[in-house]
Structure 1
Amino acid sequence: MHFVRMHKLFVQKQRYISEQELLEINAFVQLLPGASSTQLLTLIGYKRGGVILAILTLLLWILPACVLMGLFSFLVLYLDKVNVSYVFRFVQPMAVGFLAFSAFKTFKISIKHPATFFIMLGATLITYFIQSPWVFPSLIIAGSIVSNFSDKRIPDFKEKSKPVNWNNFSLFAVIFIIAGLLSEYARYHNIPLRKPISLFENFYRFGSIVFGGGSVLITMMFEQYVIRAKTPYMGSSDFLTGAGMVQAFPGPIFSIASFVGGMVLKDMGPQFQILGCVIGSIGIFLPSLLLVLFFYPIWNNLKKHVIVFRAMEGINAVVVGIMIAATILLFMSIPTRFEWMNMVAVVVTFLLLQLTRIPSPIIVVGFLIMGWLL
């Protein structure tokens, strides 16, 4: 959904970048750990105005979702007492409609010849039947290799290679090491602020190693804070409520870190709960920013080579296949998926996006109102 909205706004309406540039950036961010849609938007800002605009773009992008999810960490105990789940009854089928539309639009942009079609088909089947975090990077590599069997497409780049600035990667590595050492020191000596320190280390590590998007991040957080902890930091019902709400809020799914951070530190008082929201937001998005700004100049140099240029076609085809599989899997995860109202919600969402110019937030609000009334 984010890709489609960015294509419509930044390519078709504002013409900040070309369609080919957007596809290239989208292919590139799939190779990195972290929040792909956030990295994609950050790079659009970087291409338009350099590092400063990239950082401002990132902050404006994550702020609404992180604030909302942080506030929700204060409301979750109240919501446990008051059943308002019926308001969100159409959120999942609506999300299926959004994802189906995204896959449809991306298909039209990325699938241009039989080779990319069969790469997409293979990625769809493998993603559907093999649900593992390793599938995503493995398919990206496989798609880039397969698309290189054709020798017909040769890049035509006139821009010169840019020097690589190692400062961002050095800062990323230093923070990673220091956070890990401080966390171990705080745990071993049982210092009073060990939980906030460990919280930052956890989220920074998650943001540095997560491939496959928000669903993988949610799984890792659930294991870290609910299942694996000797004393769970929150109940499974509270965590799953937050995981459901982040799907309904606008912005990146990685903003669930704000909610989880607040919940982890809620026992230390409201001030620390707010601090937990801030730590979660900074810790999860900082690695994405540092990694994408470091590797993008390298990518600009590499993409001029024929092998890398052809690989991008395969990567984009794999992304389409994963989106199609995700659409099917999300639909199958709805307990009442074959109820006629859920089926209608999926179809209506798709048709509204395809045939009208109604903004996405209006569609979301409309389905929330339907859930409340029906």
Structure 2
Amino acid sequence: MKQPHRIDSESPASPLADGVGAIRSRGTVLEVLLAFLKLGLTSFGGPVAHLGYFRAEFVERRGWLDDKSYSDLVALCQFLPGPASSQVGIALGLGRAGWGGAMAAWVGFTLPSAMALILFAAGVTQWAALSHSGAVHGLKVVAVAVVAQAVWGMARSLCPDRLRAGVAVVAALLVLAVPAAVGQIGAIIVGGVVGRWVLTLGHLPPAQHRDYGVSKVTGAILLGLFIVLLAVLPMVAAAVHSPALSVLAKFYQAGALVFGGGHVVLPLLQAGVVPSGLVSNDVLLAGYGAAQAVPGPLFTFAAYLGAVMPSPFGGWIGGLALLLAIFIPAFLLVVGALPYWESLRQRDGVQRAMAGVNAAVVGVLVAALYDPVWTSAIHSRADFGLALAAFGLLVYARLSPVLVVLLSAVAGLMFAA
């Protein structure tokens, strides 16, 4: 395996001065862990905000890489399925302190929110009345506003023309007609096929990329492992009739196929756990609302679901098991793709297919906004008014999601009283 290129950023010949952006110096695993732990405790606001925090911390304050290298890394992680901000963090840790740094970055950024959601799940499990309380109903209602905000923003950026808007509509109709994981995956595949063969996009200019110390052989092994697990896990689960392995396969599949950010993981996970009776819609949406009030990546919602599930999951073991299952694809993809990024981004067909996939993702999220989010949360005019107010506070007043979630929980208590 190649080692990352080392260079002194103060040297006049430093690539940091000419935009190539090699690593300034090697760091330690502990340094990476502490840096990302701080962000894991304070990074509220979703993936876009996370990327802003990362830039301020690692480009401006610490100087681990330059702006061009950071922008290039963000582009790669938005191109790949999975949680973009977590993948950027994994790559930053890899570049700073090797494989240990990649793991330290993920642990530091992910565990604070995962632990908070597992604790919330413990409360829901121990006190069954909590899931039917006014505060939890307020969390379910605010989920309507959060998903609506995601649809609003994603539609504007990912469906800029009639063709992609049409792909989104067809995807939504397909998911509503086939309300299961197969409908959602089918919609994403249809979007990719339409984009590949019908869309017209401009060719991207070539660019120079920094070396993260991952050889093409290592990258190929990781990408191959990603594909093998995606294909084999469901078949093995079916062959051995293992409910636990089936759940792990569904969460791995969700982590491997989610395009467009953490909000899109909701419909895939809902289709994986609600129809089978592992988790009720009410409990699922309560956790999703709570996930808006904690820092870090939204994919840690998987830890909440694992903690509220019945045996063999449940509690800390179940939460951490499903947390790993949903994040493993992100790790394999981003590290495996780094040495191939230039050739990937230069393929016009890949770019067109991804544009179609992103449009289909908007449709998948539209369908989820109706079922299960709307149907499980909006039961009265008061509920609709609260959801509308929360949407206005998020989109137009631009209040922090944490504050909006807390206000909605208080409003839910007041309505119940």
Give the structure-2-normalised TM-score. 0.65
Q: Residue 311 of structure 2 corresponds to which residue in structure 1?
A: 264
The structure 1 residue matched to 2:411, chosen from 362, 367, 370, is: 370
The structure 2 residue matched to 1:328, chosen from 363, 367, 370, is: 370
Matched letter for residue 25 of structure 1 = C
Quickly say closer, same or farther: Cα 1:24–1:346, change in 2 above 3 A: farther
| Structure 2: distance between partners of 1:255 and 1:320 | 25
Q: Residue 206 of structure 2 corresponds to which residue in structure 1?
A: 157
Quickly say closer, same or farther: Cα 1:291–1:372, change in 2 above 3 A: same
Matched letter for residue 5 of structure 1 = G
| Structure 2: distance between partners of 1:3 and 1:27 | 23
Quickly say closer, same or farther: Cα 1:254–1:295, change in 2 above 3 A: farther
The structure 1 residue matched to 2:344, chosen from 278, 302, 310, is: 302
Matched letter for residue 301 of structure 1 = S
Contact 1:27 1:316 in 2 (8 A): no
Is residue 45 of structure 1 aligned with residue 83 of structure 2? no
1:344-355 matched pairs, under 5 angstroms:
344-355=385-396
- Corresponding residue pairs, total: 335
Quickly say closer, same or farther: Cα 1:168–1:336, change in 2 above 3 A: closer
| Structure 2: distance between partners of 1:123 and 1:357 | 29
Contact 2:135 2:412 in 1 (8 A): yes
Three-state SS of the structure 2 residue aligned to 1:334 is helix
Q: Structure 1 residue 159: deviation in Å?
A: 3.2
| Structure 2: distance between partners of 1:276 and 1:152 | 44
Q: Structure 1 residue 146: deviation in Å?
A: 1.9
Is residue 144 of structure 1 aligned with residue 192 of structure 2? yes
1:1-20 matched pairs, under 5 angstroms:
5-10=46-51, 14=55
Q: Residue 254 of structure 1 corresponds to which residue in structure 2?
A: 302
The structure 2 residue matched to 1:361, chosen from 387, 396, 402, is: 402
What's the CA shift string for 1:283-338, capped at 9, x where partnerless? Answer: 4533542344334544653231111122222122111222222212235423643x
Q: Structure 1 residue 141: deviation in Å?
A: 2.5
Quickly say closer, same or farther: Cα 1:81–1:332, change in 2 above 3 A: closer
Quickly say closer, same or farther: Cα 1:54–1:305, change in 2 above 3 A: same
Is residue 71 of structure 1 aligned with residue 119 of structure 2? yes
Matched letter for residue 352 of structure 1 = L
Q: Residue 293 of structure 1 corresponds to which residue in structure 2?
A: 335
What's the CA shift string for 1:259-301, capped at 9, x where partnerless? Answer: 047x5269xxxxx954454444434533542344334544653
Contact 2:176 2:367 in 1 (8 A): yes
The structure 2 residue matched to 1:85, chosen from 114, 133, 138, is: 133
Q: Structure 1 residue 70: deviation in Å?
A: 3.1
Matched letter for residue 202 of structure 2 = R
Quickly say closer, same or farther: Cα 1:153–1:20, change in 2 above 3 A: farther
What's the CA shift string for 1:166-193, capped at 9, x where partnerless? Answer: 45457779999xx99xx9xxx9xxxxxx
Greater relative contact order structure (CA < 8 Å, 6+ sep)? 1
Contact 1:123 1:139 in 2 (8 A): yes
Contact 1:164 1:297 in 2 (8 A): no
Three-state SS of the structure 2 residue aligned to 1:308 is helix
Quickly say closer, same or farther: Cα 1:26–1:366, change in 2 above 3 A: same
Q: Residue 191 of structure 1 corresponds to which residue in structure 2?
A: none
Quickly say closer, same or farther: Cα 1:144–1:276, change in 2 above 3 A: closer
| Structure 2: distance between partners of 1:364 and 1:264 | 30
| Structure 2: distance between partners of 1:52 and 1:308 | 31
RMSD: 4.2
Unpaired runs of at least 5, structure 1:
30-35, 188-194, 227-235, 267-271
Three-state SS of the structure 1 residue aligned to 2:47 is helix
Q: Residue 233 of structure 1 corresponds to which residue in structure 2?
A: none
| Structure 1: distance between partners of 2:164 and 2:117 | 38
Q: Structure 1 residue 26: deviation in Å?
A: 3.5
